[in-house]
Each structure stands twice: as structure tokens, then as C-alpha cells.
Amino acid sequence: MSERLKYDYLVIEGNIGTGKTSLATRIAEQFQARIVLERFADNPFLPKFYENSSRYAFPLELSFLADRYQQLNDEVMPQELFRQQTVADYVLSKSLIFASITLKEDEFQLYQRLFHIINPHLPKPDLLVYLHKDVPKLKENIRNRGRDYEQNIQDDYLGNLEKGYWDFFKQQEGLRIVVLDTNEVDFVHNMNDYNRILEILQQDFPVGLHRILPKG
């Protein structure tokens, strides 16, 4: 295994409960890369949103957008990437994906304006990896990790997020995007599965969308 990642700025994305944070952390530790993890636990609106989504959706999405931008602006600017490779468990565009599902139309139009003002100022990932899992497996993972405020997440919400990510991928130009089907993959407990994913991520991908079954 190479001592360096193929891509200096690697993003591991996925739906709620895919294990993106676990995978990003493990890769960063192995390659001694900087790790950038979303600070969702610090957001005071998140538990309130899951209890009353219509009331708290707009402040939740605005606070996430501000915090994500601030963190990425501080930690993933070009001069930082030059010094040390970086692995993150989110891309700023996830803000737009979530907001498109949770916000009312007039709120979303305003949100889009704000997003498109700040997004061009951040570097784009050299490789964006999306971990796909079917909704029943997502729900199983959500139950197992035991965050109280997540236990009432609805199947439709997870399904809409999945669709939102795919719509986003289809609109992208100039990005390398790899979708990994991880329904039958356990990269947390199975070293062979983890190593197989690493082998994939060290490949030379052209710009565009690529879908891969790691055990295939």
C-alpha cells in the first residue's frame, strides 16, 4: 500500500448511517492525513428539527451551512492542502441537498442564493466518494449507534436524501465521483473489505461518475 493517498483532498460522503465518518477517520489515521469531520453534535437545532421539522428546518440548515463553510474555509484551503493531505466526511454541497428536502420553496430560494455566493470560494475535492446503502440497512445502523434524536427518522426522508445526492451527482461537471455500493461490505469490522475499498480509492479515476461494487 502506498504511503500517500492518490488524491490530496478526499471526501467520503453518504446518507445518514452509511459509516462515512468511520471510514474517513480510519483512512486519515492510516495515511497520517488531516481529518475534517462534520461538527453536527454541536448544532443545537438538530434534536429540535427531528421533533418539529417544519419549525426548525430553516435555522438548522442555515446554521449547518455557516458552520460547514467556516470549518472548510479554515481547514481545507489550498495552502493547507499543499502542506498535508486531507480527508473529510462531508462536502459543502450536502447543505444544498438537505435543504432542498427540508425547506419550503421560498426558504430554499433564499438558501440557494446564499449557498452560491459562498461555495465558489472553497476548493473542490480531488475525489468525492459516496457510500450507498439501502434504507433498511441505514435504519439498522442508525438504531445500532443509538443517537436518541435519530431514532424517529423516517424511511421517506432517507430515500429523498439518496435521490437528492444522485440528482446532485448528475449535475456535476469537473468532479471525480465514485459511488460505492456498500450493502454487503463491512469496512469497520472486516479488514478485507476495508483493504478492497482502499485499493479502489487509490485508482486513477477520470472526471465523471463511476459506480463500483467493492465485492464485485
Residue 170 backbone dihedrals phi, psi, to 5 degrees: -65, -20
Given a contact cutoff of 8 angstroms between Cβ atoms, the answer to whether 13 and 89 are in contact is yes
Catalytic residue among 8, 74, 89, 148: 89
Closest by CA position to 65, among listed 109, 114, 9? 114
156 as an active site residue: the answer is no
Active-site positions read 89
